[in-house]
Chains A and B, each alone.
Chain A
């Protein structure tokens, strides 16, 4: 059982603050590191993996610092976002080399087991540069798992995987988490975390915006007001009709159309066509205007 700890960690590049005073503790089990692109997830992962010195604060695994301490790699596996692999090696050669560099007592058996775990045994003798993105990803996971590390860090592990591979990877992470490994994976796609449904740490603009059970955070997000841009044949009359609808919490009438704020996404989108039909108004445009993940995350930051 290993614990990864960040204590008041900040990291800046020149004038740019990438990570701002983050403290978190990762316990055994699966944790998702969520945030929009550029939020600092990779920076956090790199600091945990010993590839970046924190500008301030301390990053430790079981109380030993990760920076300038190659010894931690005995209990740490990393699947970096960049999918660079030694493409001139076959999958087996690559994983075997990793096992040897880990100085495992039986590298060949460890390599076979790791490849088996990610279902790459049938392709293990092909050169890695002939692989698809998903196969490469699985090979890299095998390489990171070959020494059965207590801590496994994965940066955007589901990128480029098809749904089946994705599900398999999630099952694998779950299994490892249940066995007592400490697993952290990053993602900018909230739905990916849904199935893993463990704990999440949400990072927005370099800060820890939310931390805890995924379902609680998910609820927070469904309660936030949704903003829609609406255009119709008669905006003002539509506004009058809409304000009587319970799920609408505010309307602005502008020259270009209406801006409607709804407290409940589902009931508003169901009510709108009904109301418009009843009033004989033709809808020309309906656009959810803040559905980008950035706005979801920034809502969390404000909450």
Chain B
């Protein structure tokens, strides 16, 4: 593992912020367990829990916490300077950060989603959610990593994307769905394990291509931005 990835992971798990990752997955699994325990039919709880909570909230919010934490917090407190004053290609730095962010987000979101998928339908559905979550985690992480280089308030902007763009506009304005990672995740998972619970609003090829566009485009742009990372003096 590269030193950058090592420091990033240490930083991520060394901060209290990491505790924020716990409640959402627990809530997700907890809800599914309660529904099962009371013998509620998955037709009734499947969609709200899997899509409404799991894919619309848990996956993006976890990716947001992690994605802005791997780089944004270092930019915030200035420790990024220690990493930037090394003769490392900026590409290596971004890729290491992205690897940690996507890896942690994917595991944190995919495990509870798998459990919920199994409880709701089948192992196949659980695995489909895992594949979707991993793809989503990569795309989200690239996006939020980029945001932490573009703005001083990446969390705010990321939340706006999740809540307003994906949550609100995605529901009413069909055109916005083409730029909604949540929709890609739904389409991909639905393709792997078709159930009545997921309703893909974008076609599978669009979902795959656009996920790649988000991941690759965001990464390349982030590498470029990090290359011209400026530290303003007191005079600014």
Contact = CB atoms under 8 A, between A and B. Distances in A.
A189 to B, nearest CB: 16
Contact of A89 (B10, B83, B230, B236): B10
Given A13-B235, A51-B231, A84-B77, A103 B87 contact: yes
Interface in B185-233: 227-233
Given A53-B228, A88-B11, A42 B234 contact: yes
A38 B77 contact: no
Interface stretch (A74-82, A165-173, A192-200, A251-259): A74-82
A53 B230 contact: yes
Interface string A69-106: 01111101110101011101100001001101111000
B79 A84 contact: yes
A101 B233 contact: no
Interface string B81-102: 1111111111000000000000
Contacts of B4: 101
B235 A102 contact: no
A88 B82 CA distance: 14
Given A78-B81, A84-B79, A38 B234 contact: yes
A184 interface: no
Interface string A38-74: 1011110010010111000000000000011011111
B5 to A, nearest CB: 11
A51 B14 contact: no
B7 interface: yes
B81 A82 contact: yes
A4 interface: no
A67 B85 CA distance: 12
Nearest to A102: B86
A35 B83 CA distance: 28
B78 interface: yes
B3 interface: yes
Contacts of A70: 84, 86-90, 227
Q: How large is the interface on B (under 10, 10 to 19, 20 to 34, 35 or more residues)?
A: 20 to 34
Given A86-B11, A88-B11, A143 B234 contact: no
Nearest to B86: A101
Contacts of B14: 88
Contacts of A100: 3
A97 B7 contact: yes
B7 A86 contact: yes
Given A13-B235, A97-B7, A84 B85 contact: no
Given A70-B90, A97-B3, A101-B4, A78 B233 contact: no
B228 to A, nearest CB: 6
A88 B10 contact: yes
Contacts of A13: 232, 235-236
Contacts of B83: 101
Contacts of A84: 77-79, 81
A82 B81 CA distance: 10
Interface centre among A71, A94, A101 (most CB of B within 10 A): A101
B233 A68 contact: no
Interface in B7-24: 7, 10-11, 14-15
Contacts of A74: 87
Q: Kindly name the residue among B7, B15, B77, B83 whose own CB sees the greatest number of chain A CB atoms within 10 A.
A: B7
B233 A82 contact: no
Contact of A80 (B10, B78, B88, B236): B78
B235 A51 contact: no
Given A51-B81, A84-B79, A101-B88, A37 B228 contact: no
Interface of B: 3-4, 6-7, 10-11, 14-15, 77-79, 81-90, 227-236
Given A53-B230, A86-B10, 10 more contacts: A40-B235, A51-B81, A52-B232, A67-B228, A73-B85, A84-B79, A85-B79, A86-B82, A88-B10, A97-B3
22 contacts: A13-B232, A13-B236, A16-B235, A16-B236, A37-B234, A40-B235, A46-B230, A46-B232, A49-B85, A51-B231, A53-B230, A67-B228, A70-B87, A70-B90, A80-B81, A88-B10, A88-B15, A98-B82, A98-B86, A101-B86, A101-B88, A143-B82
